[in-house]
Structure 1
Amino acid sequence: MQNYLTIYINGDPFNCHASMSLSDILDYLNVDVNVVIIEYNHAIVDKSNFNTLYFKNNDSIEMISIVGGG
């Protein structure tokens, strides 16, 4: 079994351990989950699913920052 895989984050390749969930990856990257929207293979992911979403090789996620202003 393959222990590592490559996913794409905002178009850039990212190598991670196959056991890492989306939540683990966001923690590793120090992403504030309160100010981003995550799109996984072109579908928006609800924050309640971050701990249970695991990846396959060549999956892609997009991190979209929420910016407030006035």
Structure 2
Amino acid sequence: MKLTVNGDTLTLNGNTIADLVSQLELTGRRLAVEVNREIIPKSQHSDFALNEDDVVEIVHAIGGG
């Protein structure tokens, strides 16, 4: 399925946020994920089904000080 992820078109080999995070090799990182302008809690990433043409924004925290 085709999605827009952080402004770029991407073909997802799966259908959940967890599948997307894995495909992008971001597993284990502290992330915030927004789908169609709605923030999806991490506890729902494994169950939240994405749909064709969804717009996804992923932001990951970077420590510093």
Query: What TM-score does the superposition give when structure 1 sets the normalisation length?
Result: 0.79
Structure 1: state its 5+ residue gaps: none
TM-aligned CA deviation for residue 37 of structure 1: 0.8
Q: Which runs of 4+ in 1 moved over 6 A?
A: none
Could you give the per-residue CA deviations for residues 18-67 of structure 1, whole angstroms, max 9, x where no partner exists?
Answer: x4211011112110443221111111110010011111111011011212
Larger Rg: 1
Question: Counterpart of 1:26 in 2: which secondary structure?
Answer: helix
Structure 2: state its 5+ residue gaps: none
What is the count of residue pairs matched by the alignment?
A: 65
Question: Counterpart of 2:12 in 1: which secondary structure?
Answer: strand
Query: What TM-score does the superposition give when structure 2 sets the normalisation length?
Result: 0.84
Q: Matched residues, percent identical? A: 23
Please, what is the CA RMSD of the aligned residues? Answer: 1.5
